[in-house]
Structure formats: C-alpha cells, structure tokens
Amino acid sequence: MTLARRSWGYLQLIIFFVALCASCAEQPPTEAVSQAEKAVADAQTQEANLYAQEYYLKAEEALKKTRAFMTDRKFGEAKPAADEAAKFAREAASQVEAGRAKMKSDADRMVTEIQAGLAEFKNRITTAARSGVPLNLEETRAVVGKMEVDLINARVKLETVKLRQAHDELSAIKKELEARRIALPPPAAGKI
C-alpha cells in the first residue's frame, strides 16, 4: 500500500511539473507587442491615419486584437496579431506620400470643378431671376457668398498643407453646390 501511495505521490509531482513547464513555455510576446505599438504610433506621427487610412485602420484593428489576446493570456495568438499590426503600420507609413499626392491632386481638381460650378450656378440664378422664376435672391446670394468664402478657406488650407481638412471641406462644398443646383427651379416655359 505504501508503494501505491508513493507512486501516486510521484504521479502528482510529475503532473505538477508538466503543468508548470507548460505554463512557462508560452511567454507573453512583449517585444513583438512593443514593436507593433511603436510601428502604429510612428505611422500616426507620419499622418498615415489621414493619407493611408486603409492600411492604418488594419494596423489599429490588428493591434486591438493583439491587446485582447494579451488580456486573455492567449500569447500564441498575440504574437502573429502583433506582427500583422506592425506589418500594416509599416505599409501605411510607406503609403503616406502617395496618399498625400493623390489627395492634393483630387483637391486641386475639386477647386477647379467648384469654381466652374459656382460660375454656372450664378448664371442659372441670373437666368432664373430674369425669366420670372420665383426665387429668394437674397438667400441665394448669401448661399453663393458662403460657398465662395468656404472655397477661399479651403484653398488657404491647401496652401498650408492641411490637405485632409481642405479635401473634406471641398467635398462638402461640392456636394452642397450640386444639391443647390439641382434644387434651383427651372426657368418658366417660354421665358428663356
């Protein structure tokens, strides 16, 4: 009986050491997580969140998963997620200049389109007013004036390299101009 007890004791000791070794085998990937966090922070410093949003958002999402895995002590899954976050962050950082150039080009194109659209809109307002279309000229002129001021402000931001803000403002102006143009009543029949 003592032999059986002793064997049982040895078995418990072996199980304990196997469990201890298994828990020690999976170490938290703190270095990989630190590198991923630094890569994402560096990408944001380079404004990847503004000019390479697709990759930057993927990097943030992978970093979020990494942190969740670390919290859940799933270290085997945390390392690949951290590596993925770092990879996406580096890709986002490498795309910043191309994204900035594309956004600048888009913004310059929108400025030209808005200027032409405003000129056409003013002509349509004048034609509508002359042809007797019911129109609140004071309100319409105020809207046109506001769009012109907003356009000037957006162009200033373009020149001061606030591309994302300028691009977003130009998009809003263009959308409002299109809506106003569509909402402008057509000239009365036979009065053109």
Q: What is the token pair recorded at 117? A: 């659209």
Instruction: Give dist(CA 133, CA 66) in Å, integer.
Output: 62
What are the CB-based long-range contacts (under 8 Å, 24+) for 98-101?
Answer: 98/52, 99/48, 99/50, 99/51, 99/52, 99/53, 100/47, 100/51, 100/163
For the chain, 192 residues long, the average pLDDT of each consecutive 10-residue run is 63 63 70 94 94 95 95 93 96 94 93 93 85 81 92 91 90 92 68 46
- pLDDT at residue 191, as a whole number: 47
- pLDDT at residue 87, as a whole number: 97
The pTM for the full model equals: 0.67
- pLDDT at residue 42, as a whole number: 96
- pLDDT at residue 13, as a whole number: 61
Integer CA distances (angstroms), 65 to 38, 71, 84, 85, 131, in order: 16, 10, 10, 9, 63
- pLDDT at residue 192, as a whole number: 44
| CA nearest neighbour of 155 among 170, 177, 176 | 170
Contacts of 50 (CB under 8 A, 6+ apart): 99, 163, 164
- pLDDT at residue 7, as a whole number: 66
- The 3-class SS string of the chain reads CHHHHHHHHHHHHHHHHHHHHHHHHCCCCHHHHHHHHHHHHHHHHCCHHHHCHHHHHHHHHHHHHHHHHHHCCCHHHHHHHHHHHHHHHHHHHHHHHHHHHHHHHHHHHHHHHHHHHHHHHHHHHHHHHHCCCCCCHHHHHHHHHHHHHHHHHHHHHHHCCCHHHHHHHHHHHHHHHHHHHHHCCCCCCCCC
Q: Residue ranges of the domains in the chain? A: 28-96, 98-183
Instruction: Give dist(CA 140, CA 3) in Å, integer.
Output: 101
